[in-house]
Amino acid sequence: MFVFAMLSMACKTTVNAQNHSKTQDVNALLEKRYQSLLDYPIDSLGFPRSMSLKTGVVKKVPSKDWTSGFFVGNLWQIYQLTGDSRFKERAAVWNAFMEKEKLNNHSHDVGFKIFCSFGKGLEVENNPKYKAVVIKSAETLITRFNKKVGSIRSWDFNKDIWEFPVIIDNMMNLELLFEASKFSGDAKYKKIAIQHANTTLKNHFRKDGSTYHVVVYDTITGVAKNKITFQGFKDDSSWARGQSWAVYGFTMCYRYTKDAAYLKQAEATAKYFINHKNMPEDGIPYWDFNDTSIPNAPRDASAAAVMASALVELYKYTKDEMYLNYSNKVIHSLSSDKYLLNETVKGPFILDHSTGHLPKNDEIDEPIIYGDYYFLEAIIRKKAL
Ligand code: GLY
């Protein structure tokens, strides 16, 4: 099947001699991991989010959780890779459980939820009902836009501490707005996406290309008054997944706008990430580049997977081989015994060693659903090159 050929190609790019029987093992293992998604019971309230390998317990969440769309997206993507219609049929079943999220305006995450499920479904089939869900979700997302700030509000919690928080992750939600403008013919969604991207470009980045996690704005003046972290090691550190969201987000914004400033920022942050002195040899970063316990800090495979997918696209626009080499290295590393879950693991996941929220002591060094999602997307994007 195609994915296996792709993995083999990725390995050949980074390793001189590829052991054939080893490649076959990886292929067989991936097939088993894919099957584990079909083995997972259908449950409209139990989207798999992460898993403890110590206890074997799968953490399940309802559709309102920010991660719910990734499992659905993984089913769509495995269908794209294998052509096995069982994955497509199952994806359509789970997609239906997500639809109510189009009206959920409690956070910016409507973008992650709907675009990673319905948006991925639209790559597979031109379904007008899915397009209508994307447009309705975009309508919901723009209710969180503040004209004075020029951004979409990310979170509603901690209102007594943060007046108007915007996190770098929010760049990922703009794809929903760009697509909604295409589907509806109404430019208002795209205009808001561009304003959000421009405000983020102005306030989120440091001179070395790295990004802050959270910028808190004053809603009276529109001024960025605090630059802090929520999930990172400290306010001025570089939380690895945040860097990846930034590169993915600005590369994607370049796709829709051709604004060279977006490409310039994506390149600056990508170079910071790839060339960082604390980047391990295998290309899978520690969860935060500035954790003082490195090299004993946990890795974040999800940050590597998001970056690998983003850099296949960045390579398309720049033709800089450095980006493609990094993506190849990550696909190769994540396909090794160290990261790929073996057949004994009974849970709908593919990769180990992602880190969700270390300061909260939550989801550290374990399988997390979005790591799998961007790993599969990176492979699919490579195929399309
Ligand atoms: N958007 C939340 C995270 O990256 O963990």
Ligand 1, closest atom to CA 356?
5
**What is the model's pLDDT at position 26?**
84
Indicate which residue of 169, 352, 365, 372 is catalytic.
169
pLDDT at 257 over 70: yes
Ligand 1 and 169: CB distance under 6 A? yes
Mean pLDDT of the chain: 94
Q: Environment class of residue 77 by beta-carbon count within 10 Å: exposed (0-12), middle (13-18) or buried (19+)?
A: buried
Structure tokens at 51: 């898993």
DSSP string, 65-119: STTHHHHHHHHHHHHHHH--HHHHHHHHHHHHHHGGGGG--SSTTHHHHHIIIII
Calculate how far, in angstroms, residue 169's C-alpha sits from the geometric centre of ligand 1: 6
The confidence score (pLDDT) of residue 191 equals 98
Percentage of the chain lying above the pLDDT 70 cut: 94
| This prediction's pTM | 0.95
pLDDT band of residue 17 (cuts 50, 70, 90) is: very low
Least confident range from 5-19, 80-94, 298-312: namely 5-19
Query: Band of the pLDDT at 146, cuts 50, 70, 90?
Result: very high
Region 356-363: what's the mean pLDDT?
A: 98
Show me where the domains of the chain are located.
38-384
Which pLDDT tens digit goes with each residue over 90-135?
999 999 999 999 999 999 999 999 999 999 999 999 999 999 999 9
What pLDDT is attached to residue 14? 32
Cβ of residue 144 lying under 6 Å from some atom of ligand 1:
no
State yes or no: pLDDT of 355 exceeds 70. yes
The confidence score (pLDDT) of residue 25 equals: 82
Q: Determine the pLDDT at residue 195.
A: 98
Within 145-187, residue ranges assigned H as helices are: 174-184
pLDDT (tens digit, 9 = 90+) per residue, 269-307?
Answer: 999 999 999 999 999 999 999 999 999 999 999 999 999
| Topology annotation, domain 38-384 | Glycosyltransferase (1.50.10)
